[in-house]
Amino acid sequence: MNVDKLVEIYYMVDEFLIKFMPYMEKKLLTEPTRKPTRTCSLNLSEIMTILIAFHLIGFRNFKMYYIHLEQFHSSEFRTLVSYNRFISLVKRTLVPMYFFTHSLSKTRTGCYFMDSTAIKVCKVQRACSNKVFKSIATKGKTTTGWFFGFKLHLIVNDLGEIMNFTLTPGRVKDRFPAKSLCKNLIGKVFSDKGYISKELFEKLMEKGIELITHIKKNMKNAFMTLWDKLMLRKRSIIEIIIDQLKNISQIEHSRHRSIPNFIVNLIAGITAYGLKEKKPAIANIYTTGLQ
């Protein structure tokens, strides 16, 4: 593992927490009902750094990754706790990790792509026996078939940067969280047929967003500029990003034993993607089409 990259991640996280933690303590912990009685040798910045770095280096198993840290990076993390103790500490990073992810720099280019992907927590056949996610995960259906779990909804720009994301139960239709995903954005959003809705189109247009999709077979042809047609063909950029999130950042697996740790793993994977220097992007000609 590149030590310089570890230091860079730690520095960014620590600088963020210096400003964020006082705000969080003021807003969320004004009247704590129970104070922690057990201190931890690892600080929050180190825990978050370890979690984010896991999604960048290619390990498929977090336990083997943690053993690797103990053997080869004890000089960087001098107060490492046991593996079981670390797993119990992961949930402490949930809120800071979420806000840190949203604090990463993003460019409002005016050209965006929106889509969703299934996050499976187990096989559909085992849905009834799943105890961890029984109360919140649901069955859903995509173009590849039925699944049990959640849907991750994403909106990205043409530079490959994730502008916003949200997680919903698997049965939620793609168009329902679209309005919140597009919050504070202006420009054109390209998506698939799952987002076709006259009501959604009108609401987004009021906010300065033009929703552009392919039309269904039973719909009348609508005027579309050559530029819009070209951008619809480039919609595969978000599919490439989703593929990287699942196969490199490993945001999806069936070994979770708690809901908070599942969410932290998902957000840490998105954070790790956001810190990558090279992201899939469309050739830098979008300004010509938007002028």
| pLDDT at res. 214 | 84
Tell me: pLDDT of 97 over 50. Answer: yes
Q: What residues contact residue 223 under an 8 Å CB cut-off, 6+ apart? A: none
Mean pLDDT over residues 182-208, rounded? 93
What is the chain's mean pLDDT, rounded?
Answer: 89
| pLDDT at res. 253 | 85
Pick the CATH number of 111-290 from 3.90.1300.10, 3.40.50.970, 3.40.47.10, 3.30.420.10: 3.30.420.10
Query: How many other C-beta atoms can be found within 10 angstroms of the C-beta atom of residue 259?
Result: 16
Which tops the pLDDT comparison, 59 or 211? 211
Cα-Cα-Cα-Cα dihedral sign, residues 124, 129, 130, 134: positive
> Would you say 56 and 5 are in contact if contact means Cβ atoms under 8 Å apart?
yes
| Tens of pLDDT, residues 43-85 | 999 999 999 999 998 788 899 999 999 999 989 998 999 999 9
| Assigned token pair, 51 | 């979690």
| pLDDT at res. 291 | 43
Q: Structural domain boundaries of the chain?
A: 3-103, 111-290
71: left (phi over 0), alpha (psi -120 to 50) or beta: alpha
